[in-house]
């Protein structure tokens, strides 16, 4: 399950339903049960997180934090993905694409990190990029429901 949140200082509204279905499918395809929080925030907040956890004193586009706690079997939270809407906006303008697409790319990228994908080697970069392209393609073609949604029986049936 994807938990979509907006930080209090973020005024942009993103149509997230199709993206949430694609992120759910990404979890399903990687056989990962649990929830991921996707938080849209601003440069100031992500800058503080980047400095505190990575010792990098500047904002970034996306940060992922794994929160899977083996000590609490009732907690199904895999992690959180923070996206700076301001940085995403600058990147979208530079790439001449809609903000919605940039945020989708960053949400997929951050979720892949939570699933263990890394881009610190040429091979890792290629694998991660292929997965990003795959799920962006699914999103672009009217987002297919996740297998969880397809297996749910509608009420009254």
- Measured CA to CA in angstroms, residue 26 lies from 49, 91, 140, 142, 147 at distances of 25, 24, 15, 15, 10
Query: Phi and psi at residue 61, in whole multiples of 5°?
Result: -80, -40
pLDDT digits (tens, 9 = 90+) for 75-130: 688 999 999 999 999 999 999 999 999 999 999 999 999 999 999 899 989 999 99
pLDDT digits (tens, 9 = 90+) for 138-151: 998 864 454 454 44
In order of their start, the domains of the chain are: 2-143 (3.40.390.30)
pTM over the 0.75 mark: yes
Is residue 30 a contact partner of residue 114, using CB atoms and an 8 Å limit?
Answer: no
- The radius of gyration of the chain from alpha carbons, rounded to an integer in Å, stands at 16
Q: What is the mean pLDDT of residues 31-57?
A: 94
């Amino acid at each position: 399950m994807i938990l979509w949140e907006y930080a209090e200082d973020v005024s942009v509204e993103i149509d997230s339903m199709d993206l949430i279905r694609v992120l759910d499918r990404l979890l399903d395809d990687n056989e990962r049960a649990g929830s991921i929080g996707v938080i849209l925030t601003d440069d100031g907040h992500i800058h503080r997180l980047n400095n505190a956890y990575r010792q990098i004193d500047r904002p970034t586009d996306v940060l992922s934090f794994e929160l899977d706690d083996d000590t609490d079997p009732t907690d199904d939270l895999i992690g959180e993905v923070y996206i700076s809407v301001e940085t995403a906006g600058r990147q979208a303008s530079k790439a001449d694409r809609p903000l919605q697409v940039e945020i989708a790319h960053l949400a997929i990228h951050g979720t892949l990190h939570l699933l263990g994908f890394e881009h610190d080697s040429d091979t890792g970069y290629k694998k991660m990029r292929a997965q990003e392209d795959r799920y962006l393609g699914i999103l672009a073609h009217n987002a297919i429901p996740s297998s969880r949604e397809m297996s749910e029986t509608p009420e009254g049936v």
